Amino acid sequence: MPASPIRKLVPYAEKAKKAGRIVYHLNIGQPDIETPEVMLNAIKTATIKTIEYSHSAGNDSYRRKLVGYYKACNIGIDPEKDIIITTGGSEALLIAMMSCFDPGDEVIIPEPFYANYNGFANAADVIVKPVRSYIETGFSLPAIAEFEKRINPKTRGIIICNPGNPTGCLYTRAELELLKALVLKYDLFLLADEVYREFCYDGKEFVSVMHLAGIESNVVLLDSISKRYSACGARIGALISKNSDVMNAALRFAQARLSPPTYGQIGAEAAIDTPAEYFRKVKEEYIERRDYVVETLNKMEGVLCPKPSGAFYCIARLPIDDADKFCQWLLESFNHNNQTVMLAPATGFYSTPGAGINEVRIAYVLKKESLKKALECLEVGLKVYNKN
C-alpha cells in the first residue's frame, strides 16, 4: 500500500511547526466543532465496574435506539437483522468489502474518492476501477455510459460517497435513480458511504441509497457518527443492509474482532438525543465557512472552485504545475507573517495517474478567522510560487 500524498506531507508540517511557524490545517476532516454535551456527559456519568465486551453487532440498546434515528431519516431498519455497529466508518467499509466481494472482484468508484477506500480495497483484495468526475461539472455523477464501459464479468459493485468526500458533491435523486437502474441491470452491489448526511446545504434534498425502492438486497449503507457529532475519536460506525447473506458474512468478521468500543457506544447512544438546535447551529457555521471559502478562492486569479452542496470539503483548481510539489513547498519553503497552510493535494483522491495534478482539497473545518488567514497564505503563496 503506497503512502498517500497527504501523509507524505506530514513530516514537512511537523518540521514547519518545530521551526515556530503556524500551520493552518485545511488538509484533514477533523472538525473543530464541539461534540454534543449529551454525548460527553453520558460517558462521564456511565457507571461501569468492568469494561466488558459488548455484543459483536453492538449494544442491543444502542441498536434499538438507532432505529429511531434512521426512522427520522426515512430509513426503516430492523435492529436485530439489518445493522452491525462497527469501529468507525472505516471498519464498516472494510467489513462491507470483505463481505460483498471475493478476492479479484472489481468495484467501480467515481473519482476523486476518499483515499482510504484504496487501503480497504487492498486489504479485501478488491480491484478499484475509477470512473472520473470533473471539477467543471461540480463533480456530479459521471455518465452511466462511462460506468458501463468499465463493467465486465468481474465487476461486482459500485461504491459512492454521498455527500462526497473530497468533493462536497450531493447527488440528486435523478442521479441515484440512474445508478439504481445500472445496479439492477448488472445485479451489482451498491455500497454508499453517507457519513455526511447531516451536512446538506441550500435546502437541497438528501437521498439515501436506502430510499431507492427495488434494490434493497443490493444496497449496503456505511455510516459513522464521527462527523455527525464531531466525535471522530469515538470510533463508532455502522454497516446496514437488508441482504441477509451480506449481514451474516459481516457478522462473522465482526465476531472475529469481538466488539466495537464500549465508551464510544455509550456516547453514541446518548448522542441520538442531541437537540435539533445543535445541528442548526453547526450547519449555519459550515454554510458561512463554505460561502466564505468558495467566494474567496474564486476571486483568486486562475482559481476555480465549484460550490459544493454537502459535507465540509471543496476541491479547488489552482494555477500551478503540480499540487504535490506546491503543497510541500508551502510547508517547506514558504511563510507569510510566520504562517503557512497545509492543503491536501487532490492527486491522492484520484486513481488515474496525472488526474487532479493541479487540484487541492480544502476542508473548511476551522473558524472563519483562521480560514481567512489560511486563505491569505494560499493567495500570497500562489503568487510567490509562480514567480519562482
State how beta strands 189-193 and 219-224 pair.
parallel
**Region for residue 203 given its phi and psi (left: phi exceeds 0; alpha: psi -120 to 50; beta: otherwise):** left
Strand partners, 360: 316, 345
Per CB under 8 A, 387 contacts a second copy: no
Rounded-to-integer distance, Cα 225 and Cα 229, Å = 6
In single-letter form, the type of residue at position 118 comes to N
| Residue among 20, 103, 203, 354 that touches a second copy (CB under 8 A) | 103
Of the two residues 161 and 207, which places its CB atom closer to a second copy in the complex?
A: 161
- Among positions 211-240, residues that touch a second copy (CB under 8 A) are 229-235
Contact status, residue 24 vs residue 230, Cβ threshold 8 Å: no
Where b means 16+ CB within 10 Å and e means fewer, 273-300 reads ebeeebeeebeebbeebbeebbebbeeb
Q: How far is the CB of 37 from a second copy (least distance, A)?
A: 9
Rounded-to-integer distance, Cα 349 and Cα 67, Å = 33
* The three grid cell numbers given for residue 247, joined into one nine-digit string: 449481514
Q: How far is the CB of 14 from a second copy (least distance, A)?
A: 11
Of the two residues 204 and 257, which places its CB atom closer to a second copy in the complex?
A: 257
Rounded-to-integer distance, Cα 211 and Cα 253, Å = 27
Per CB under 8 A, 90 contacts a second copy: yes
- Among positions 119-178, residues that touch a second copy (CB under 8 A) are 119-120, 123, 125
| Residue among 61, 255, 298, 337 that touches a second copy (CB under 8 A) | 255
Q: How far is the CB of 53 from a second copy (least distance, A)?
A: 4
| Residue among 172, 262, 333, 386 that touches a second copy (CB under 8 A) | 262
Of the two residues 97 and 316, which places its CB atom closer to a second copy in the complex?
A: 97
Of the two residues 30 and 386, which places its CB atom closer to a second copy in the complex?
A: 30
Which range in 74-82, 89-97, 172-180, 300-308 contacts a second copy by CB under 8 A?
89-97
Burial zone of 387 (CB within 10 Å; 0-12 exposed, 13-18 middle, 19+ buried): exposed
How many residues touch a second copy under the rule CB under 8 A: the total is: 58
What SS3 state is found at 165?
coil
| Residue among 11, 14, 15, 32 that touches a second copy (CB under 8 A) | 32
Of the two residues 189 and 253, which places its CB atom closer to a second copy in the complex?
A: 253
| Residue among 27, 35, 140, 339 that touches a second copy (CB under 8 A) | 35
Which range in 72-80, 116-124, 195-203, 296-304 contacts a second copy by CB under 8 A?
116-124
Of the two residues 187 and 245, which places its CB atom closer to a second copy in the complex?
A: 245
CA dist 272 to 31, 44, 68, 114, 334, Å? 19, 17, 9, 26, 44
Of the two residues 206 and 278, which places its CB atom closer to a second copy in the complex?
A: 278
Rounded-to-integer distance, Cα 341 and Cα 22, Å = 8
Dihedral (Cα; 229, 230, 236, 238), 10-degree rounding: 60
> Binding residues for a second copy, per CB under 8 A?
1, 3-4, 7, 28, 30-35, 39-40, 43-46, 48-54, 87-88, 90-91, 94, 98, 103, 116, 118-120, 123, 125, 229-235, 249, 252-253, 255-264, 267
